[in-house]
Amino acid sequence: MRILECDAGYILEELDQKLSPHGYMVPLDLGAKGSCLIGGNVSTCAGGVRLLRYGSMHANILGLTVILPDEKGTIIKMGNGLRKDNTSLHSHHLFIGSEGQLGIISRIQLLVAPRPTSINSAFLGIENFQKVTDILRKAKTELSEILSSFELMDSETLKCLEENDGLKSVLPSNPAFAVLIETSGSSKEHDSEKFSKFLESVLENGLAADGVLAESSTEAASFWKLRETAPLSVMKDGYCYKNDISLPLKHFYELTDILRERLGNKCIRVTNYGHVGDGNAHINITSKSYDEELYKMIYPFLYEWVAKHGGSISAEHGIGQLKRPYLHLGKHPNELLLNQRLKQIFDPRGILNPYKMIDSL
C-alpha cells in the first residue's frame, strides 16, 4: 500500500535512502534534508520543493503516535495505516504543524511515492513576472501529471549567488527571473517528448527569453545547487531578515518591489526565491548587521501587507516566537480562541514550547 511506519527521529535524507532500494521515496524534499528529522518535518508541516506534485504533510500522513504532556505521559496512537477511514475525527491532523505545542510525535505512518525513473529539468530565463505566471499555468495544463517542481529565483537572488558563493547562473543572459522546472515520471521517452514540446512552445511564443535543458543528472544537480544554496547565500551579506509567506499568485512578487522602494539604500538587497508553484515566497532582506531602524521599517508593515492581500505570514516555517505578536493577522478571533482551548486540553500545565505560537488562556 506504499505506507511507511517509522520513528520520528530519522533524518529525512536517511529515510529516503532506506526507501530507495525498494523503488520508493519520501514525497517531501527540502534543502535541509541532510539534517532535519522527519518528526520535526511533521511538527512544522514542512512544505519543500515538491509540494506541487505530492501535496503537504496533511496529504501524506496517515497516522501518528504522540506522547502527551500529562503526568502519566499518555501515549496516543492515531490512525491505522488506511487511506480511507472515517471512523474518527482524524485527530492526528491536529499535531501536524502544531510546532510541539500539543504533544511529542514519536512515530509516523507516512505515504511514500514510487521513485521516478524519468526526470527532466530545465532552467528558464523570463523577462517579467506576468510571463512567469503564464508559464506556470501552461506547465500545470500541459505537463500536468509529471510536473513535480516549479521554483523561482529573481535576478537579485542570482546576483547574490554569484557575489557571495561564486555560483554563476547557467543562463547566457541576465533575465529578471529564472525558473527551475522539473518533471518526474516512469516513461523516459514519453516524459522527454512531452517536456521538449512544452519548452519549444514556451520559447517560440516568447514566454521565456532563453533556457537550458539539463542533458545529464550532473547538469540537473547544478540547477538545483543554485536554488538550494540561495537560503545560505543571503546570510553571507551580514544579517538577514528572513520572511516565509504565502500570497495569491497575482500578488506574489508585488511586495518585493514595494519593499525595495520602501527600504532603498538602508538595506543591501531584497531577494525573492521560492515555491511559486504553490504560492510560497521567501523574501529576504539583508544588511551588514542588525539594524533596529531597518527592522521597524520592515515590520509590522510586511505582515500587515500580506494579511491585507489574502496571504499568510508563515507559509511553512511556523510561528515560533518571532511572529507570535502578529499571529492575529489574517485569523478570525474565534479560531485563535479554539487554538487556546485545544492547548489547554492537551497541555494544561503549559510545559510544551511555552511562550511560542499559542497564547495561554
Name the CA dihedral angle for 296, 48, 109, 119, rounded to a multiple of 10 degrees: 180
- C-alpha 326/C-alpha 330 separation (Å) is 9
pLDDT band (50, 70, 90) for residue 360: confident
All three cell numbers of 147, joined, read 510536473
Q: Whose grid coordinates read 544579517?
A: 239
Regarding pTM above 0.75, the answer is yes
pLDDT digits (tens, 9 = 90+) for 146-198: 999 999 999 999 999 999 999 999 999 999 999 999 999 999 999 999 999 99
Tell me the torsion sign for CA atoms 190, 192, 193, 198. positive
pLDDT at 302 over 90: yes
CA distance 164 to 196: 33
Whether 204 has a pLDDT exceeding 70, the answer reads yes
Please state, for a pLDDT cut of 70, what percent of the chain lies above it: 100
Of 109, 104, 103, nearest to 60 by C-alpha is: 109
